[in-house]
Amino acid sequence: MALLYGGRSGEHEISLRSAEWVRTSLDRDRYEILDYFIDKNGRWDPAPILPEPGTNGGIDVVFPMLHGPFGEDGTVQGLLELAALPYVGAGVLASALSMDKTFTKRICREAGLPIAEFVILYPGRSETECVELPFSYPVFVKPANLGSSVGITKVSHCRDLPAALREAAQYDRKVVIERGISGREFECAVLGGEEALPMTPCEIIPSQEFYTYDDKYILDEARTELPAKLDPEQIEEIRNLAKRCFEAVGCEGMARVDFLMESATGRIFINEINTIPGCTSISMFPKMCEHSGISNAALVDRLIDLALERAKAHARLRHTK
């Protein structure tokens, strides 16, 4: 098994920690690990995976643990498709759609799933001064293609919007402005298969105003509740929405769907979907699976089995007339 980690995105360090989770979860009697590390400049060590089928000897399946652009966005998945290598997780299209928050929101909206109101700006081409929004402040300004809360700013007044746009524009040419939802934050793991299986959701209780990068990976002050303290109907609503979101974007293998519950109304909104969720010591994806009776070793086995099953199904398809 080839373990692919590192990468050029701002989530490089998180990828290293997620890869270590895979490494320690694997049954070494069943798997031999081949490490493929990508540094922050995009250089591969010991060598890159080549796009030609049959040129990557010794690899039976690839486990990508790359977060963010150049790994979770369909780029690496396209390389692995060209190389005819089975790989864990979502395919090219689902990876790309899920990575781009604007397309995720559009697909969810088309599927009748609840999302917060949003607008899209292109700071390099659009007005970066105070813009008129179709919803009130506070708002969240985010790069369209990034994770782990990198580049996100909460803006409470129009005068602070230009600085937030400049911050987000450092990471992407496309920026999303969302209506701020004041309330509680939840996550729900989903495991693929013939039918997507949503796990029991957890609640994230940030130590800061929202669940920032520092709160996730540095401060160690955020708290979690697993299972989330919700009534059974709310639990089932989140599980159902997670499954429907997973299916709407065409996801496979694994994902974590993030939610917001508005305090004023009790409404639950889908925030985003992550196709390669973090699997660090504090990440909730494996913990939610474990809470539902799936150990780390069994989870890795299942993800690899799903990758091999998909590859076999693809091999039966015709590509010429």
Task: Express each pLDDT in 39-92 by its tens digit.
Answer: 999 999 999 999 999 999 899 999 999 998 899 999 999 999 999 999 999 999
List, in order, residues 6 or more apart from 150 with CB less than 8 Å away: 10, 11, 68, 143, 171, 213
Residue 321: predicted pLDDT: 81
Which residues are the active-site residues?
A: 11, 148, 217, 256, 258, 272, 274, 278
Query: What is the per-residue pLDDT across 198-251, written as a single tens digit (0 to 9) for each?
Result: 999 999 997 666 555 555 545 566 789 999 999 999 999 999 999 999 999 999
Spacing of C-alpha 119 from chain mean position: 21
Average pLDDT rounded to a whole number, residues 294-310: 96
Hey, where are the domains in the chain?
Answer: 2-88, 96-114+182-299, 118-179
Q: For tokens 């250089």, what's the residue?
A: 43
Strand partners, 249: none
C-alpha torsion 237→208→280→79, nearest 10: 80
Spacing of C-alpha 281 from chain mean position: 17
For domain 2-88, which architecture applies?
A: 3-Layer(aba) Sandwich (3.40)
What is the distance between the alpha carbons of residues 94 and 286, in angstroms, rounded to a whole number? 21
Q: Of 3.30.470.20, 3.40.800.10, 3.90.1150.10, 2.60.40.1510, which CATH number belongs to 96-114+182-299? A: 3.30.470.20
Q: What is the CATH number of domain 118-179?
A: 3.30.1490.20
